[in-house]
């Protein structure tokens, strides 16, 4: 009985173990199926999503979120188009050295100061008034502010008015050249410190136009940070010289820094004032404008302060070197110049020329007739009235 019982137990245990084995085998089969199904699902997910992530990563690497050089220049152009007509009051402090024997100029680190106002509509009309003191010449190395030299030039298609005085004030120390047509002189505004506000850097072709027509142009792969702003660095070789501009993305893509240079063979101006090739001056002219501060005026960012360093070197050893700190004290964008009389004839609107006083010498018309300004009239050397602006009558020019 014991043997039988043992055998019965063994058989029952076998059947139980066999059932467990089969159940386990079935469970493993189910598990394998589910395992494979899980992997298939995961593979499908990866197949769908990885190309998306891969494309995103690839785009981030190969296509950084930077504008192209053409887009940058176009943004710069759009800002310049908004600031072509201005009234700008300014002040400057400068230190200069020059060695120019033909002009009897030889000085080192001379300091001088200026203040004034400039107006332009970028259509051929300009008003440029300035006072200068400090170093004026070797004969006048330390002119006090109250005795500053003075100049005023108003240029329109029908007027060339140029008044200069060796000292401001009631004494008639000046000479007025008065023409009823535009003279042959170039636009002096393009050489001033604030001309780059309008996009002019030493010549009468706007720099964005020069960049668009560049022989070669490129952009640094990565921008630089200037005063917390992202600036894209554009370099160009143009017919007007070489430019490097740091275009400030936070300030209308106006340049936060400018480096420019030109040599013999580069165009100075696009007007008739460009010298012929055989008379081109052999000189190297380099310019750096930096430390620029901006102000938002009527929704437009404009530069209002900065530093200009300019160096001109001639092949014969002559040179001129200046460092200028400029500051715009007031600026009006796109004023109604006609309503304001911005370019009116100062001889008929004497508030435009506060330094015109009795006794001022006048050179009148094409003949450069020598006259005198006296009580609202221009009289010749004999005292005969040539123009009477009080009654708007004249005997002719």
Residue 377: strand pairing partners: 374, 388
In the chain, pLDDT over 90 holds for what percent of residues? Answer: 61
Looking up tokens 């058989």 gives 11
Cα gap 30→15, rounded to integer Å:
22
Is the pLDDT at 55 greater than 50? The verdict is no
Of 280 and 342, which is predicted with more confidence?
A: 342
pLDDT at 352: 96
Tell me: the pLDDT tens digits for 19-44? 444 544 554 554 554 445 554 444 44
Neighbours of 80 (CB within 10 A): 23
Tell me: the pLDDT tens digits for 118-142? 999 888 899 999 999 999 998 999 9
Tell me: the pLDDT tens digits for 290-314? 999 999 999 999 999 999 999 999 8
Beta carbons within 8 Å of 76's beta carbon, 6+ residues apart: 199, 208, 211, 245, 247, 253, 254, 255
Neighbours of 135 (CB within 10 A): 19
Beta carbons within 8 Å of 296's beta carbon, 6+ residues apart: 302
Cα gap 282→164, rounded to integer Å:
31
Average pLDDT in the chain: 82
Cα gap 137→141, rounded to integer Å:
6
pLDDT at 168: 94
Q: Is 196 left (phi over 0), alpha (psi -120 to 50) or beta?
A: alpha
pLDDT at 180: 82
Residue 98: strand pairing partners: 107, 320
Q: Enumerate the domain spans of the chain.
A: 1-63, 69-340, 358-394
pLDDT at 204: 79
End-to-end CA distance of the chain: 156
Q: Please identify, in words, the CATH class of the domain defined by 69-340.
A: mainly beta
Cα gap 217→68, rounded to integer Å:
11
Cα gap 320→99, rounded to integer Å:
6
Is the pLDDT at 272 greater than 60? The verdict is no
The H or E element that residue 232 is part of is strand 229-238
Give the pLDDT band of residue 82 (cuts 50, 70, 90): very high
For residue 281, give the 3-state DSSP assignment.
coil
Arithmetic mean of pLDDT, 343-361:
95
Tell me: the pLDDT tens digits for 205-243? 899 999 999 999 999 999 999 999 999 999 999 999 999
Cα gap 27→10, rounded to integer Å:
25
Nearest to 319 by CA among 281, 265, 283: 283
For residue 47, give the 3-state DSSP assignment.
helix
The H or E element that residue 21 is part of is helix 2-62
User: What's the maximum distance between 2 C-alpha atoms anywhere in the chain?
Assistant: 166
The model's pTM is 0.78
Give the pLDDT band of residue 271 (cuts 50, 70, 90): low
Beta carbons within 8 Å of 245's beta carbon, 6+ residues apart: 76, 207, 211, 233, 234, 255, 257, 258, 259
Structure token pair of residue 281? 């001056």
Give the pLDDT band of residue 390 (cuts 50, 70, 90): confident
Nearest to 78 by CA among 309, 299, 382, 342: 299
Is the pLDDT at 202 greater than 80? The verdict is no
Cα gap 263→285, rounded to integer Å:
6
């Amino acid at each position: 009985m014991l043997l039988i019982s043992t055998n019965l137990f063994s058989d029952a245990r076998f059947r139980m173990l066999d059932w467990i084995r089969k159940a386990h085998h079935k469970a493993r089969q189910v598990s394998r199926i589910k395992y494979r199904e899980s992997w298939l699902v995961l593979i499908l997910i990866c197949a769908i999503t990885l190309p998306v992530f891969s494309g995103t990563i690839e785009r981030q690497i190969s296509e950084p979120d930077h504008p192209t050089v053409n887009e940058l220049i176009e943004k710069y152009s759009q800002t310049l188009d908004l600031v072509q007509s201005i009234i700008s009051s300014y002040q400057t402090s400068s230190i200069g050295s020059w060695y120019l024997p033909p002009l009897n100029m030889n000085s080192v680190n001379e300091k001088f100061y200026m203040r004034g106002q400039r107006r332009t509509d970028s259509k051929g009309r300009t008003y440029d008034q300035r006072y200068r003191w400090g170093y004026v010449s070797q004969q006048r190395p330390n002119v006090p502010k109250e005795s500053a030299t003075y100049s005023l030039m108003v240029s329109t298609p029908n007027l060339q008015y140029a008044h200069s005085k060796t000292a401001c004030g009631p004494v008639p120390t000046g000479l007025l050249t008065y023409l009823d047509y535009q003279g042959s002189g170039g636009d002096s505004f393009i050489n001033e410190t604030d001309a780059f506000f309008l996009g002019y850097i030493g010549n009468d072709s706007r720099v964005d136009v020069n960049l668009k027509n560049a022989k070669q142009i490129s952009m640094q792969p990565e921008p630089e940070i200037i005063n917390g702003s992202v600036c894209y660095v554009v370099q160009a070789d143009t017919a007007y010289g070489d430019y490097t501009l740091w275009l400030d993305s936070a300030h209308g893509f106006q340049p936060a820094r400018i480096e420019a240079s030109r040599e013999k063979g580069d165009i100075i101006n696009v007007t008739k004032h460009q010298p012929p090739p055989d008379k081109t001056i052999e000189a190297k002219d380099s310019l750096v404008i930096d430390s620029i501060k901006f102000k938002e005026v009527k929704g437009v960012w404009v530069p209002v302060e900065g530093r200009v360093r300019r160096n001109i070197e001639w092949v014969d050893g002559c040179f001129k070197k200046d460092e200028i700190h400029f500051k715009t004290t007031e600026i009006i964008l796109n004023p109604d110049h006609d309503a304001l009389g911005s370019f009116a004839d100062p001889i008929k609107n004497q508030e435009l020329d506060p330094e015109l006083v009795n006794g001022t010498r006048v050179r009148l018309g094409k003949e450069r007739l020598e006259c005198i300004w006296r009580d609202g009239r221009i009289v010749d050397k004999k005292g005969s009235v040539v123009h009477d602006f009080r009654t708007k009558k004249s005997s002719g020019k």
